[in-house]
Amino acid sequence: MLIGVFLLLSMLTCSILTIGDEICIGQIVNSNAAWMAAQCTKIGCEVIKHVTVSDNENEIISELENLRTYSDFILITGGLGPTHDDITKKVLCSYFHDELIWHRPTLEWLEEFAHIRNRVLTDRNRQQALLPSKCSVLTNKNGTAPGMLFTDGGSNFVSMPGVPREMMYIMENHVLPLIEKIITENGYETNKYRTILTIGIAESDLADLIGDETLFLNENTSLAFLPSYKGVRLRIGVHNVHVNEADKLLDSIESYLYLKAGKYFFGKNDESIESVTVRLLKEQGATVSVAESCTGGKIGAAFTEIAGSSIYFIGGVLAYSNDVKVQELSVNAQDIEKYGAVSEQVARSMSEGVRKKLSTTYALSATGTAGPGGGTEEKPVGTVWISLATPKETITKRFIFGNDRTANRERTVGAAFDMLYRYLRSEEK
């Protein structure tokens, strides 16, 4: 039947159905759906839709009816636990007019699983081996509920537990290999994506810089702008092309974008401004310290979030009060009086002060008005001075962000890393 589907569709398609009250009412973020979608996209399977419904038989069945009309694979998670509110197995059984039978290999696995954990196999858990007769059972070595694959009328329905590591096991060992096999054997076309990371430029300015998209995009290629506090990501995509052409097409679009806006690029795909900055620090055998006012520790926290940071991150001073700025960082009290704590002079003294104090190659400082209060006519909320002290010079810049405190602090961290990153890159031989 998949051949039949192939004749109608140029790409293999899937939809993701998440079943569970806890997701529906927002108690849990649906990270399973994102993970499954990313895996399917990576192997060239087009994700059409994500749907979340509660543990309700009618809603589940009407979704199955709907999703099967345009999905080769319907990936279902949740509702396979041993408790009363887990109804997925029962619902699938009635949907496919099937009956539950004892599945010996699963029963043996349950006994082994209980034995490994020195537990007795309860009747409640033994029920996990009662499975629909028409499904292919997908083993789950990370838990007690196996996956179930039903193939019906050209659509493949896969039911998996909602526990992430159990769902991942079944996806990686059964579902993804099957999808890849079908794509290659039937010569489906594919979609492929690449994300280029930029920083230091606003979304609309970047769009203006890149200009008329008809000059480099066609009906098989796409460009999306994904803004964040730490720069705008450019996601280029190629669609419905043969798998061998995908990378060549992505390369050509990337080259074009580089010509237009390359100076704002800093990485690709899963990289971050923190990870690329730290990589350069390590390569150059450099160390760094921080002097933080408005960020209160967020820059240091970002450096140390990465494992192994003790190689390059020495420490810092949280100079939230002006007294600490003067006492610990040798900021000139007259400067604070004359120019204010949020000023070029103070930011510069902070970075130079902590660099000297902790004897590091580089030092970053930030002083600003994060908000919501504290803004003035000439220094509105969102005004931040960031300074980078280096062996050769000290660079200090003013930024004016928005009126959201959390966002302003996040943006300050991003801008500070951006300043250090650009300097380190310029130092590369």
Among positions 2, 9, 11, 24, the unique one binding a copy of itself when judged by CB under 8 A: 24
d(CA 347, CA 350): 5
Q: Are 42 and 176 in contact (CB under 8 A)?
A: no
> Exactly one of 222, 252, 390, 394 binds a copy of itself (CB under 8 A); which one?
222
Nearest distance in Å: CB 428, a copy of itself: 25
| Footprint of a copy of itself on 44-103 (CB under 8 A) | 47-55, 59, 66, 81-85
One residue of 132, 146, 267, 300 binding a copy of itself per CB under 8 A: 300
Task: Give least dist CB 168 to a copy of itself, A.
Answer: 10
CB 232 within 8 A of CB 202: yes
Report how far residue 307's alpha carbon sits from residue 304's, in angstroms, rounded to the nearest whole number.
7
Which window, 28-36, 129-137, 181-189, 257-265, contacts a copy of itself (CB under 8 A)?
28-36
- Residue 117 CA to its chain's centroid (Å): 34
Running DSSP on this structure, what letter comes out for residue 263?
Answer: G
Site for a copy of itself in 256-285 (CB under 8 A): none
Binding to a copy of itself by residue 240, rule CB under 8 A? no
The Cα 155–Cα 153 span in angstroms is 6
Q: What is the DSSP letter of 264?
A: G
- Strands 288-292 vs 362-368: parallel, antiparallel or unpaired: parallel
Phi, psi (5° rounding) for residue 129? Answer: -90, -5
How many residues of this chain bind a copy of itself (CB under 8 A)? 111
Stretch that binds a copy of itself, among 95-103, 115-123, 130-138, 256-264 (CB under 8 A): 115-123
Q: How far is the CB of 429 from a copy of itself (least distance, A)?
A: 27
Per-residue binder mask for a copy of itself (CB under 8 A), 152-191, x = binder: -----------x-x--------------------------
8 lines the binding site for a copy of itself (CB under 8 A): no
Distance of closest approach, residue 302 Cβ to a copy of itself, in angstroms: 8
CB-based contact 316:292 (threshold 8 Å): yes
Is the CB of 31 or the CB of 244 nearer to a copy of itself? 31
Amino acid 75 reads L
Choice from 30, 343, 367, 412 touching a copy of itself (CB under 8 A):
30
Q: CA of 364: how far to CAs of 280, 302, 306, 411, in Å?
A: 15, 12, 17, 14
User: Binder to a copy of itself among 133, 321, 334, 376 (CB under 8 A)?
Assistant: 321
CA neighbor of 408 nearest in space, from 378, 364, 363, 374? 374
The piece of 102-110, 178-186, 258-266, 367-375 that touches a copy of itself (CB under 8 A) is: 367-375
> Would you say 199 or 370 has its CB closer to a copy of itself?
370
Closest distance of CB 148 from a copy of itself, Å: 20
Cβ-based nearer residue to a copy of itself, 17 or 424: 17
CB of 253 to a copy of itself, least distance (A): 14
Could you give the angle at the alpha carbon of 117 between the alpha carbons of 89 and 140, nearest 5°? 35
Among all chains, which residue has been given the structure tokens 């858990």?
Answer: 125
- Contact between residue 300 and residue 363 where contact means Cβ atoms under 8 Å apart: no
376 binds a copy of itself (CB under 8 A): no
Q: Residue 317 and residue 22: Cα distance in Å, rounded?
A: 42
For residue 132, list its beta bridge partners: 100
Instruction: Indicate the residue among 165 and 242 with the shorter CB distance to a copy of itself.
Output: 165
Q: Which is nearer to a copy of itself, 98 or 203 (CB)?
A: 203
Q: Is 195 in the site for a copy of itself (CB under 8 A)?
A: yes
Query: In the set 6, 12, 19, 39, which binds a copy of itself (CB under 8 A)?
Result: 39
Backbone φ and ψ of 229, nearest 5°: -65, -20
User: What's the chain's length in residues?
Assistant: 429
With CB under 8 A as the contact rule, the residue among 221, 407, 422, 423 that binds a copy of itself is: 407
Nearest 10 degrees: Cα torsion 157, 161, 167, 170: -60
Return the SS3 of 39: helix
Least spacing, CB of residue 195 vs a copy of itself, in Å:
7
Please say whether the beta carbons of 58 and 90 come within 8 A: no
Binding range to a copy of itself, per CB under 8 A, among 152-160, 170-178, 245-253, 371-379: 371-379
The yes or no reply on residue 356 touching a copy of itself (CB under 8 A) is no
CB of 255 to a copy of itself, least distance (A): 21
CA atoms of 155 and 92, how far apart (whole Å) = 14
254: contact with a copy of itself by CB under 8 A = no
The residue within the footprint of a copy of itself, chosen from 97, 117, 392, 429 (CB under 8 A), is: 117
Pull the structure tokens for residue 377: 């006519």
